[in-house]
Amino acid sequence: MRISLLILLLAAACSGSQGMSFRSSRGECCSKEKLYPRKIPEFRIQGYLYTAPSCTHRAVLVKVLRGSVCVDPAQRWFQEYLRKQKKPNSTST
């Protein structure tokens, strides 16, 4: 019973909304060489986290299914992604 409850709590903690930032216990930085050069499709993005201010290069760690990739936050596609995430869902009734 305890194990089932633990698994349920872990699953709830790991699940999150698309576009929400994720937390990292380690302060990871990105070098210019690590920046992913292409657009990442929105449906692949599970979350994002800005790198720490102490990092040499400003970047965003974008969480995807198999880990995370470094992205330049000034890239147009990422800015458009952020705008879409901030828009409230409009429903017509």
Inform me whether the pLDDT recorded for 71 exceeds 60. yes
Cα 26 to the center of its chain, rounded Å: 15
pLDDT at 12: 44
Asked whether 27 and 56 are in contact (CB, 8 A), the reply is no
Report the predicted TM-score, pTM, of the whole model to 2 decimal places. 0.62
Residue 18 lies in a domain: no
Sorting pLDDT into bands at 50, 70 and 90, what band is 92?
low
DSSP per-residue codes, 24-72: -SS-----GGGB--SPPPGGG--EEEEPPTTSSS--EEEEETTEEEEE-
Q: Which domain holds residue 44?
A: 27-88
- Determine, yes or no, domain membership for 45: yes
Is residue 15 one of the residues assigned to a domain?
no
pLDDT of 5 above 50: no
d(C-alpha 81, C-alpha 72), whole Å: 13
Can you give the CATH number for the domain in which 60 is found? Answer: 2.40.50.40
Say what the pLDDT of residue 26 is: 52
Task: State the pLDDT at residue 4.
Answer: 46
Residue for token pair 């147009």:
76
Question: Helix, strand, or coil here: 21?
Answer: strand
Question: pLDDT of 15-68, one tens digit each?
Answer: 433 344 444 445 689 998 989 999 999 999 999 999 999 999 899 999 999 999
Number of C-beta neighbours around residue 70 at 10 A: 19
